[in-house]
């Protein structure tokens, strides 16, 4: 049976070792680890030309036919190009005296010799302008979700309707978990601390007519966003819960922005209609001001009045969800390649690592070998959302599994592979790719965005704006909108605006939308600061509105100067003074960090800065050194200054751009 594969998001990993050429009559060798394994690369975005398990309709090229070769190609790609196993290519290289592994990169000459030895004619691939334009268009195209890739790869005739996956979002205390409690008819709220959801839950409910819906109960909007930050679009439909008595609140607006960024359809649930002061019409009017136009107002978004506590309107809400799901066509192949997403994970003190998975295609079974990022394991046990052991899980089923070596991150994509050898090879390759990506990773700062705007690579500047008070927020948003009308070079889009400090939700939204966070008279939460550093999100804080607007305008016109900031390297205390031929040297003890030769330096005496300049020399005993770290003594001479006093603090720093 021909096996079809889902091409998950990832990159091809090129080997760091380049194969050396060896022609007939000449010597040569190649460096590299010989890991001879022939399996399909699940991490590639594009399908190969020909694979041993899935032949192309035209069949592989016959010996004697002409093959077009690019300047560089891996052993695996070369085998795919001619419809042969990579092992055959490796054997041909060995006959030429070249030891290469499956990911070895070959230059044109080496690959041409191999193909000629195997009986093919070769010509070099000529770069075309049209190909470059197509590549640019491909880069600008939005990243396809896992659901979209499944539908593209799977046979149309084998796709079957599956239960829709629904996320419930809204303002705190507007009744999200109470709504799920009403749907599932179980007392989830009573198990939560203070009635507030503390984790991500995934539950599947069966309606009286046999239809099923899978619900995700998210603790916050950043969790909803983090599931797609790693390339997994889990949710098919989002339910926006708004209390009829409170109306639209700050977190309601935040939820709307996250749903829009995820580009999923929504159904509005106007909750608490049984409470005194409930006004559903006011809620609809407030939503219309935010661009959420419900059907009663001539729009296409369904709004259902409900009371989760009194169990009123629940059936109508579920019917609305199923209608939206039917309209977008949620389908999967139960017999296809099994892939899905990690919803949550934890380390159980008795059972070890446990992960909640949502199967999105295929069927997950006990005993399957699964790969998640750089780890793999075998499913030893599987439980449904009620904690009952099960043997298999079809599409859209949330399950909890045992058998992973460690706790996987939420939002990771899992896939089932044939055996442990393939799993081990994939994880090794991904680990190497991740290491390289981290080495080359750069933060997409405001200056880098401006450079891309100048080159025409970016035509929209995404912003998230947070201020201390509502008045400042309205003034800044109004000014930014005017600026958007004045500057034609690029369009300004404000993804989210709010009052309060920059939090994790803001940073996660910025990370997934390639946005810059602008803060006015606010601080950054410690957790948000760590996440921003990890995700490479640029956060700009201002206390003058004109400076903020000026920077944004320069950004839109591509005129902003790189931001310069000081980075303190270390501090040293002067504890003795020595006279030398060149003047006076300070005998110092390094209090913190590191003191580097040729770094910028300033000398502080109490609260005053006495000197700013450079370190002229740095010594330990009689030897010149490049740096001295905390806890060690050293001798420091400053350029053009020798009026040291005991107790002075010498601070070494450097200026960075960007």
Here the CATH number for the domain that contains residue 311 is 3.40.50.300
pLDDT in tens, 4-26: 433 333 333 333 333 333 333 33
- Work out the angle at residue 618's Cα, subtended by the Cα atoms of residues 612 and 619, and round it to the nearest 5 degrees: 150
The pLDDT assigned to 402 comes to 93
pTM over cut 0.75: no
Residue 441 lies in a domain: no
The answer to the question of residue 22 being in a domain is: yes
Q: Domain of 113? A: 1-141
Domain boundary (85, 107, 141) is at: 141
Per this entry, what is the length of the chain? 658
Residue 157 within any structural domain of the chain: no
pLDDT at 379: 95
The rounded distance, in Å, linking the Cα atoms of 259 and 101 is 45
Q: Could you give the C-alpha distances from 291 to 253, 270, 461, 473, in angstroms and in order?
A: 11, 17, 20, 19
Q: Which of 141, 173, 199 is the last residue of a domain?
A: 141
Residue 325: which of 248, 407, 411, 237 has the closest Cα? Answer: 237
- Residue 52's closest CA among 90, 89, 75, 80? 80
What mean pLDDT do residues 193-214 have?
Answer: 69
Quote the pLDDT of residue 510. Answer: 86
Q: What is the pLDDT of residue 632?
A: 92
Q: Mean pLDDT lowest for which of 461-475, 502-516, 549-563?
A: 549-563
**Tokens, residue 651:** 């601070």
pLDDT for the residue numbered 16:
32
User: For 353-364, what is each residue's pLDDT tens digit?
Assistant: 999 999 999 999
pLDDT at residue 460 is higher than 80: no
pLDDT for the residue numbered 135: 46
Instruction: Please say whether the beta carbons of 428 and 244 come within 8 A.
Output: no
Query: Mean per-residue pLDDT for 35-57?
Result: 34
pLDDT of residue 503 exceeding 80, the answer is: yes
Residue 171 shares a structural domain with residue 279: yes
Q: Are residues 497 and 553 in the same domain?
A: yes
Position 381 scores a pLDDT of: 94
Predicted confidence (pLDDT) per residue in 401-417, tens digit: 999 998 888 778 899 99
Q: Does residue 452 share a domain with residue 431?
A: no
- The torsion of the CA quartet 482, 483, 484, 487, rounded to 10 degrees, works out to 130
Residues 315 and 408 in one domain: no
Same domain, yes or no: 200 and 325: yes
Supply the CATH number for residue 462's domain: 3.40.50.10050
Percent of the chain with pLDDT over 70: 77
Which residue from 354, 344, 406 is spatially nearest to 199, judged by alpha carbons?
Answer: 344
- Give the mean pLDDT of 567-579: 91
Pair (477, 496) in one structural domain: yes
Let me know if residue 150 belongs to a domain.
no
Is it the case that residue 553 has pLDDT exceeding 50? yes
In a domain, 16, yes or no: yes
Adjacency order of strands within the sheet including 201-206: 201-206, 212-217, 165-170, 237-243, 266-271, 303-305
25 with 131, same domain: the answer is yes
Residues 194 and 317 in one domain: yes
Model confidence at 190: pLDDT above 50: no
What is the pLDDT at residue 601? Answer: 92
As a whole number of angstroms, the distance between CA 376 and CA 395 comes to 21
Average the pLDDT over each of 140-144, 499-503, 510-514 and give the range with the smallest value.
Answer: 140-144
Q: Let me know whether 100 and 191 are in one domain.
A: no
Find the CATH number of the domain harbouring 349. 2.40.30.10
Cα four-point dihedral sign 535, 538, 542, 545: negative
Report the 10 Å Cβ neighbour count for 122.
16
Beta pairing class for 539-542 and 516-520: parallel
What is the reported pLDDT for 348?
Answer: 82
Tell me which H or E stretch contains 216. Answer: strand 212-217
Number of domains in the chain: 5
In a domain, 286, yes or no: yes
Residue 155 lies in a domain: no
- Asked, for residue 226, whether it belongs to a domain, the answer is yes
Is the pLDDT reported for residue 518 higher than 70? yes
Domain end, chosen from 516, 547, 562, is at: 562
Residue 497 DSSP code: E
Kindly report, residue by residue over 47-64, the tens digit of the pLDDT: 333 333 333 345 677 777
Number of other CB atoms surrounding residue 507 within 10 Å? 28
pLDDT above 50 for 569: yes
Sequence-ordered list of residues with C-beta below 8 angstroms from that of 132, at least 6 positions apart, any chain = none
179 and 315 assigned to the same domain: yes
> Do 405 and 485 have their domain in common?
no
- On whether both 511 and 589 belong to a single domain, the answer is no
């Amino acid at each position: 049976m021909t096996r079809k594969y889902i091409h998950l998001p990832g990159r091809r990993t090129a080997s760091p070792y380049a194969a050396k050429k060896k022609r007939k009559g000449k010597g040569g060798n190649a460096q590299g680890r010989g890991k001879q394994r022939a399996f399909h690369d699940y991490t590639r975005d594009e399908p190969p030309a020909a694979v041993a398990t899935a032949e192309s309709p035209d069949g592989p090229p016959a010996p004697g036919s002409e093959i077009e070769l690019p300047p560089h190609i891996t052993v695996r790609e070369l085998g795919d190009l001619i419809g042969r196993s990579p092992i055959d290519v490796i054997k041909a290289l060995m006959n030429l005296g070249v030891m290469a592994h499956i990911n070895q990169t070959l230059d044109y000459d080496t690959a041409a010799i191999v193909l000629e030895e195997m009986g093919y004619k070769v010509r070099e691939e000529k770069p075309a302008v049209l190909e470059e334009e197509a590549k640019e268009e491909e880069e600008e195209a939005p990243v396809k979700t896992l659901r979209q890739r499944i539908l593209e790869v799977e046979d149309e005739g084998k796709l079957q309707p599956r239960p829709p996956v629904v996320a419930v979002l809204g303002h705190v205390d507007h009744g999200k978990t109470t709504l799920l409690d009403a749907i599932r008819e179980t007392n989830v709220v009573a198990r939560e601390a203070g009635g507030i959801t503390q984790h991500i839950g995934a539950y599947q409910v069966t309606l009286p007519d046999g239809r099923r819906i899978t619900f995700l109960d998210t603790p916050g909007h950043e969790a909803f966003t983090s599931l797609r930050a790693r390339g997994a679009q889990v949710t098919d439909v989002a339910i926006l819960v708004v209390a009829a008595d409170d109306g639209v609140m700050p977190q309601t607006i935040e939820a709307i922005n996250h749903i829009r960024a995820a580009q999923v359809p929504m159904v509005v649930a106007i909750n608490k209609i049984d409470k005194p002061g409930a006004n559903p019409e006011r809620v609809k009017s407030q939503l219309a001001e935010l661009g959420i136009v419900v059907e009663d107002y001539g729009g296409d978004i369904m709004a259902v009045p409900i009371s989760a506590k009194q169990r009123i309107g629940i059936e109508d809400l579920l019917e609305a969800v199923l209608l939206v799901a039917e309209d977008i066509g949620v389908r999967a192949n139960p017999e296809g390649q099994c892939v899905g997403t990690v919803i949550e994970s934890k380390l159980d003190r008795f059972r070890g690592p446990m992960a909640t998975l949502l199967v999105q295609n295929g069927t997950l079974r006990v005993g399957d070998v699964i790969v998640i990022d750089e780890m793999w394991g075998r499913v030893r046990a599987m439980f449904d959302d009620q904690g009952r052991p099960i043997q298999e899980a079809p599409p859209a089923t949330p399950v909890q599994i045992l058998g992973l070596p460690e706790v996987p991150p939420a939002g990771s994509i899992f896939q089932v592979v044939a055996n442990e050898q393939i799993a081990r090879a994939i994880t090794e390759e991904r680990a190497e790719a991740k290491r390289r990506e981290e080495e080359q990773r750069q933060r997409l700062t405001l200056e880098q965005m401006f450079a891309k705007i100048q080159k025409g690579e970016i035509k929209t500047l995404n912003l998230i704006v947070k201020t201390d008070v509502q008045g400042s927020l309205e003034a800044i948003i109004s000014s930014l909108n005017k600026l958007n009308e004045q500057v034609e070079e690029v369009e300004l889009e404000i993804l989210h605006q709010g009052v309060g400090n920059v939090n994790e939700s803001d940073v996660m939204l910025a990370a997934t939308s390639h946005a810059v966070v602008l803060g006015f008279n606010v601080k950054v939460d410690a957790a948000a600061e760590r996440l921003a550093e990890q995700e490479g999100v640029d956060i700009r804080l201002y206390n003058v509105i004109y400076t903020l607007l000026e920077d944004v305008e320069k950004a839109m016109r591509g005129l902003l100067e790189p931001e310069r900031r000081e980075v303190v390297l270390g501090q040293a205390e002067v504890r003795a003074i020595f006279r030398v031929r060149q003047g006076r040297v300070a005998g110092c003890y390094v209090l913190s960090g590191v003191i580097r030769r040729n770094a910028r330096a300033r000398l502080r005496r109490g609260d005053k800065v006495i000197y700013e300049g450079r370190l002229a020399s740095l010594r330990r005993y009689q030897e010149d050194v490049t740096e001295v770290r905390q806890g060690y003594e050293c001798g420091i001479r400053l350029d053009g200054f020798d009026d040291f006093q005991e107790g002075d603090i010498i601070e070494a720093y450097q200026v960075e751009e960007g």
